Amino acid sequence: MIKGYKSAISKIYDNIRESEKKALKQRREEIEHKIPEVLRIEKEIGKLCLKLSISILNNSDNKEKYLEELKEKITDLRIKKSELLVSHKYPMDYLDIHYKCPKCKDTGFIGVQKCICYKQKLVNLYYQNSELKEILKKNNFDNFNLELYPYHKTGNEPISPRKNIEEITSRSWKFIENFSSSNENLLFLGNPGTGKTFLSNCIAKELLDRGYLVVYRTAESLIHDLKHIRFNNNETLEDLLLNSDLLIIDDLGSEQITDFSKTELFNLLNRRLLKRNKMLISTNYDLEELLKIYSERISSRLLGEFILCNFFGEDIRIHQNIKNQKY
The pLDDT value given to residue 147: 86
Question: Of 48, 74, 106, which closes a domain?
Answer: 106
Total count of domains within the chain: 2
Percent of the chain with pLDDT over 90: 64
Give CA 246 to chain center in angstroms.
Answer: 10
Tell me which amino acid residue 267 is.
N
Tell whether 33 and 101 lie within a shared domain: yes
> How many angstroms separate the Cα of 259 from the Cα of each of 262, 266, 294?
5, 11, 10
Q: What percent of the chain has pLDDT over 70?
A: 94
Q: What is the pLDDT of residues 78-115, one digit of tens each?
A: 999 999 999 999 999 999 999 999 999 999 999 988 89
Residues 30 and 178 occupy one common structural domain: no
Smallest CA-to-CA distance from 118 within 132, 129, 104, 133 is with 104
102 and 47 belong to one structural domain? yes
- Residue 199 inside a domain? The answer is yes
In a domain, 243, yes or no: yes
Contact predicate 108/115, CB 8 Å: yes
Domain boundary among 106, 141, 161: 106
**Mean pLDDT score of the chain:** 89
Domain co-membership, 284 together with 175: yes
With bands split at pLDDT 50, 70 and 90, how would you rate the model's confidence at 71?
very high
Domain at 153, CATH number: 3.40.50.300
- Do 178 and 227 reside in the same domain of the chain? yes
Residue 150: pLDDT band (50, 70, 90) is confident
Most confident residue range from 28-37, 118-127, 289-298, 311-320: 28-37
Instruction: Among 106, 138, 157, give the residue marking a domain's end.
Output: 106
Indicate whether 140 and 81 sit together in one domain.
no
User: Are residues 168 and 281 both part of a single domain?
Assistant: yes
pLDDT value for 326 = 47
**Is the residue at 117 inside a domain?**
no
Nearest Cα residue to 120 out of 23, 21, 12, 15? 12
Residue 1: predicted pLDDT: 42
* Position 266 in a domain: yes
Domain of residue 36 covers 3-106
Which pLDDT belongs to residue 327? 43
Residue 13 has pLDDT above 50, yes or no: yes
**For residue 313, what pLDDT is reported?**
82
Render pLDDT for 224-242 as a digit per residue (tens, 0 to 9).
Answer: 999 999 999 888 889 889 9
Q: Considering the domain boundaries, does residue 262 fall inside one?
A: yes
Is residue 153 located within the same domain as residue 298? yes
CB-based contacts of 183, cutoff 8 Å, min separation 6? 276, 278
- Asked whether residue 239 falls in the same domain as residue 142, the answer is yes
The confidence band for 267, taking pLDDT boundaries of 50, 70 and 90, is: very high
User: CA torsion angle for 15, 16, 19, 20 (degrees, to 10)?
Assistant: -150
Q: Rounded to 5 degrees, what angle do the CA atoms 262, 266, 269 make?
A: 140
